[in-house]
């Protein structure tokens, strides 16, 4: 089965959006933002699973029958918080630090990357190697 959907889960400011942009450059075909996947398009989903494994269930049900690698995007809380401050985060102050570990509690992944010391492009290459 060919991968049609990649799900990235990580806290605010962990680097999910940057990785998603870099994956566009690393993967051989364009990937779009679940009905489009069923129509044959490639999809990258950027989400925050605050409710642990239960947060993933709606996606799991919607994507049944599709090859979906679940990707954990980790980042140390202090680094995520610094990124949040630097970009002028739109959410409540401290959201990135509060979510850094919480979003991964009880969630299993096919691939994990850590943006604490790894650039988005390198993370994207790791993920792309898993799906191509």
pLDDT tens-digit profile of 35-89?
677 778 888 888 899 998 999 998 888 888 888 999 999 999 999 999 988 888 5
C-alpha torsion sign, points 79, 80, 84, 87: positive
Provide the domain count of the chain. 1
pLDDT of res. 103: 94
Tens digits of per-residue pLDDT, 112-126?
A: 999 999 999 999 999
For residue 57, give the CATH number of its domain.
3.40.50.300
pLDDT of res. 80: 93
DSSP 38-57: HTT-EEEEEE--TTTHHHHH
d(CA 21, CA 44) in angstroms, rounded, equals 10
Reported pTM = 0.81
**Distances, alpha carbon 67 to alpha carbons 1, 20, 26, 43, in Å:** 6, 18, 19, 11
| Residue-number span of the structural domain to which 97 is assigned | 5-131
Q: Does 5 score more than 60 pLDDT? A: yes
């Amino acid at each position: 089965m060919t991968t049609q959907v990649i799900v990235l889960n990580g806290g605010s400011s962990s680097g999910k959006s940057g990785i998603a942009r870099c994956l566009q450059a690393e993967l051989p075909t364009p990937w779009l933002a679940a009905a489009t996947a069923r129509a044959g398009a490639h999809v990258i989903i950027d989400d925050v699973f605050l409710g642990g494994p239960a947060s993933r269930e709606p996606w799991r049900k919607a994507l049944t029958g599709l090859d979906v690698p679940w990707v954990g995007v980790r980042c140390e809380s202090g680094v995520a918080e610094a990124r949040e401050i630097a970009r002028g985060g739109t959410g409540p102050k401290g959201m990135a630090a509060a979510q850094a570990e919480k979003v991964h509690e009880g969630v299993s992944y096919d691939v994990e990357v850590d943006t604490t010391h790894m650039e988005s492009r390198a993370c994207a290459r790791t993920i792309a190697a898993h799906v191509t």
